[in-house]
Amino acid sequence: MKLLRDKVAFVPGGYGGIGEAVCKALAQAGAKVIVAGRDLSKASRLARRIRGVALELDVRDTPSIERTLSRFRRIDLFVNCAGVSREETLDRVSEQAWDEVLGTNLKAAMFLAQAVARRQKRGGKQVHLLSVRAQLGLRGRGYSTYCTSKGGLVMLVRQHASELGPRGICVNGVAPTVVRTEMGAHWLKNPKTRAWLKERIPLGRIAEPDEVAQAVLFFCSPAADYITGQILYVDGGLTASQ
């Protein structure tokens, strides 16, 4: 079903593991997808496969966001898949890592959302990719920067939902646990951490990118027209059992 026919969807971080699944799902639902990222060749390869548009964009270069989007008069759907993680224990957290993670995961989310909202005159959807680390700390690992960035993004979603609601714009977040992507590969390659993850997840398995993409598709669809300011945890029950 072409639920999103004639909709324009902007997806920064669109050629990553989850981002690619999101772009494909949006395209299959009828949307014209703008795949954005620092690597134009990767964005272009995916855009050709889904008959979309590729954009070169470094989300950490705040002034470039508005310049890059100036060619688009209308954006209906915004799915923020841009994100990084740097693991450093509290006593070793560097200012460089802090600025990189917060700049990509939180600051960029703010100014991407701002630029998109300027192109959403009345109605539209904004969806941010978060993580279960928006709600849960992690013992034994150095996740200060990542958890802080995703926790802050929860409040960004709620505030933007509050401000954009009168214009009929819905803002929500999708928060998965570890997903079978390149970013999650270091967890899954190690038999011990892989077994530990599966033991903690009530459904007993790792999330697939398509499962996260379907949650995003729900928030972008008319089925979610009266849902805003919410975080959907796509985590196999992890946050329900801690």
Q: Would you write out the chain's pLDDT as a tens digit for each of its 242 residues?
A: 689 999 999 999 999 999 999 999 999 999 999 999 999 999 999 999 999 999 999 999 999 999 999 999 999 999 999 998 887 888 899 999 999 999 999 999 999 999 999 999 889 999 999 998 888 887 877 789 999 999 999 999 999 999 999 999 999 999 998 888 676 667 677 787 778 778 888 998 888 999 999 999 999 999 999 999 999 999 999 999 86
Whole-angstrom Cα distance, residue 101 to residue 122?
A: 32
**Residue 226 annotated among the catalytic residues of the structure:** no
The verdict on residue 32 lying in a domain is yes
The verdict on residue 2 lying in a domain is no
Domain that holds residue 92: 8-240
Number of domains in the chain: 1
- Cut 0.85: pTM above it: yes
The verdict on residue 3 lying in a domain is no
The verdict on residue 1 lying in a domain is no
The verdict on residue 204 lying in a domain is yes
The verdict on residue 167 lying in a domain is yes
Task: Give the CATH number, domain containing residue 155.
Answer: 3.40.50.720
Q: Which of 15, 146, 226, 233 is catalytic?
A: 146
The verdict on residue 68 lying in a domain is yes
Classified as helix, coil or strand, 55 is strand
The verdict on residue 123 lying in a domain is yes
